[in-house]
């Protein structure tokens, strides 16, 4: 057992010891010598072993309980944000995280292993312990645990595969960590009388705001929210107007891009967010492009999935232009209020199983009609199976009024026809359908995190005089 010791105390003792030894040896330490600074620089460069973290997630999905035993100190140093971020990450991914500084016992003290076994309700013979220090493994082996000495990642994964019987070296990357309503913070922002927006958030740091499309909800970002939070961002996933717990006003004009963007600005104002990165999908993609055009001062950067930026064409009426593309026939079927609602809301489960599917061969519906000719068939779902098998990427539903503002959206976009969106960058995922963030979450997360981390830093705020 040991009492709690803080890193500041440890650094102080270590520095004093170094100075005494240097004095005895006749060595002059530089005036900038600092054990604390050295540790903080190490922490700043610290990374998590991603393959082992993925392996832990795979094991959990296969029924294993997972835990982490740390030998650590109470961190009151200048680098304590790293410690807090790391511990938050570990607690999100493991069933049990034991900090020696909280327990009062540390490896290789058998007491910490006994405590872990009791917390996990496991017998020693049911446990596999990994550690990069052989001394820490010895008491665990004596208790009857299987042990793996961590040297290199590939060898560890092979040994872990053999002991667990779970395939961990597969080429197919496991799904990233998901989130559910219980592990995010929910909030509601009143926009104006009778209209409020529901949102969830997770993490701390620069703000990234996620805007979903039709017929989704904030849960369509369930794989991106924890990944971006783990990367050091404050992630806010909006429930767009008309969906879920956000207000669904009946007026079609409420869903014009102009009004949606005005509401989003009020939303940011109410949360005290002067500027944000916006990421959108489907209709949410249209929102983020328009925010960049009409409210550039509120936008640090934008990313849009499956909805590329297209400037408004003043020479052709938008309705006539869309009529020339058979792909958009379904949008004209959506125009008459009540018609599409009656079909799609008759059986929400069937609607979602039909519409939200991946491009995988095993997920395709047999003899499914084309999205062309919806009006001629008499409905979007006509010709699809009455009892389709479950989709691999299910998602909640939403309203149709977003589609009923074609001309107002076009006219509003025309007023910004001379504005530019600079520094565009494009990424492409092969073999992926429309529901990118749910169908290929690991690849998308890598792209988004890399892009976000590569954004130029924010310039310093100007000093404002006090009157």
Question: Long-range contacts of range 11-19, CB-CB < 8 Å, 24 or more positions apart?
Answer: 11/35, 11/36, 11/39, 11/77
Helix (H) or strand (E) holding 19: helix 7-25
Which SS3 state, helix, strand or coil, does residue 222 take?
A: coil
Query: Nearest to residue 454, comparing CAs of 428, 425, 429?
Result: 425
Are 239 and 247 in contact by the 8 Å Cβ rule? The answer is: no
Contacts of 304 (CB under 8 A, 6+ apart): 279, 280, 281, 284, 285, 288, 289
Q: Which residue out of 403, 418, 428, 458 is catalytically annotated?
A: 403
Please say whether the dihedral angle defined by the alpha carbons of residues 87, 88, 89 and 94, taken in this order, is positive or negative. Answer: positive
Kindly compute the dihedral angle of the four CA atoms of residues 344, 346, 349, 355, in this order, to the nearest 10 degrees: -20
Residue 282 designated active-site: yes
Give the residue from 258, 303, 237 showing the smallest Cα distance to 450.
303
**Chain CA centroid to CA 156, Å:** 28
Cα distance between residue 40 and residue 80, in whole Å: 8
Active-site annotation holds for 403: yes
Q: Report d(CA 183, CA 303) in Å as an integer.
A: 25
Residues contacting 272, CB < 8 A, separation 6+: none
Preceding peptide of 108 cis, ω within 30°:
yes
Read off the tokens for 455.
């954004």
DSSP state of 395: -
E strand or H helix that includes residue 89: helix 80-93
Q: Do the Cβ atoms of 255 and 401 come closer than 8 Å?
A: yes
**C-beta neighbour count of 420 within 10 angstroms:** 10
Q: Is 286 helix (H, G, I), strand (E, B) or coil?
A: helix
Query: CA 211 to CA 242: how far, in whole Å?
Result: 13
Task: Tell me if residue 115 is catalytic.
Answer: no
Is residue 346 a contact partner of residue 384, using CB atoms and an 8 Å limit?
no
CA distance 299 to 173: 33
Distance CA 394, CA 399 (A): 17
The residue from 131, 230, 263, 282 that is catalytic is 282
Q: Are 350 and 381 in contact (CB under 8 A)?
A: yes
Residues noted as catalytic: 282, 403, 434
């Amino acid at each position: 057992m040991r009492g709690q010791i803080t890193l500041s105390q440890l650094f102080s003792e270590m520095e004093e010891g170094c100075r005494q030894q240097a004095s005895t040896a006749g060595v002059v330490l530089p005036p900038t010598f600092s054990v604390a600074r050295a540790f903080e620089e190490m922490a700043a460069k610290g990374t998590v072993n991603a393959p082992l973290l993925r392996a832990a997630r795979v094991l959990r999905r296969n029924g294993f309980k997972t835990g982490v035993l740390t030998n650590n100190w109470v961190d009151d140093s200048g680098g304590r944000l790293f410690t807090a971020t790391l511990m938050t990450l570990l607690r999100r991914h493991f069933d049990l995280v034991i900090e020696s500084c909280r327990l009062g016992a540390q490896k290789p003290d058998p007491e910490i292993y006994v405590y872990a076994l009791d917390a996990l309700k496991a017998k020693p013979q049911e446990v596999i312990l990994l550690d990069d220090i052989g001394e820490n493994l010895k008491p665990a082996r004596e208790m009857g645990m299987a042990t793996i000495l961590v040297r290199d990642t590939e060898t560890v994964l092979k040994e872990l595969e053999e002991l667990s019987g779970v395939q961990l070296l597969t080429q197919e990357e496991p799904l990233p960590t998901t989130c559910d309503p219980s592990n995010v913070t929910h909030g509601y922002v009143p926009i104006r009388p009778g209209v409020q927006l529901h949102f969830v958030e997770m993490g701390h740091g620069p703000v990234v705001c996620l805007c979903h499309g039709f017929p989704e909800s904030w849960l369509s970002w369930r794989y991106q929210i924890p990944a971006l939070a783990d990367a050091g961002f404050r992630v806010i996933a909006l429930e767009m107007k008309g969906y879920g717990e956000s207000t669904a006003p009946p007026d079609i004009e409420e869903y014009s891009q102009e009004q949606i963007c005005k509401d989003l600005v009020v939303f940011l104002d109410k949360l005290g967010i002067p500027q944000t990165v916006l990421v959108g999908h489907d209709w949410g993609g249209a929102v983020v492009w328009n925010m960049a055009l009409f409210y550039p001062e509120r936008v640090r950067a934008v990313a849009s999935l499956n909805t590329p930026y297209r400037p408004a064409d003043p020479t052709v009426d938008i309705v006539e232009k869309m009529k020339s593309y058979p792909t958009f026939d379904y949008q004209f079927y959506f125009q008459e209020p009540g018609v599409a609602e009656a079909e799609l809301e008759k059986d929400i489960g069937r609607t979602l199983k039909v519409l939200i599917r991946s491009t995988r061969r095993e997920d395709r519906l047999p003899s499914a009609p084309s999205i062309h000719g919806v009006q001629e068939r008499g409905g979007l779902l006509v010709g699809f199976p009455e009892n389709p098998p479950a989709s691999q990427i299910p998602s909640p539903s939403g309203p149709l009024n977003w589609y009923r503002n074609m001309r107002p959206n076009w006219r509003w976009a025309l007023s910004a026809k001379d504005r530019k969106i600079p520094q565009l960058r494009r990424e492409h995922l092969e073999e992926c359908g429309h529901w990118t963030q749910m169908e290929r979450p690991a690849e998308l997360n890598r792209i988004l995190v890399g892009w976000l981390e590569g954004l130029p830093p924010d310039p310093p705020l100007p000093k404002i005089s006090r009157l």
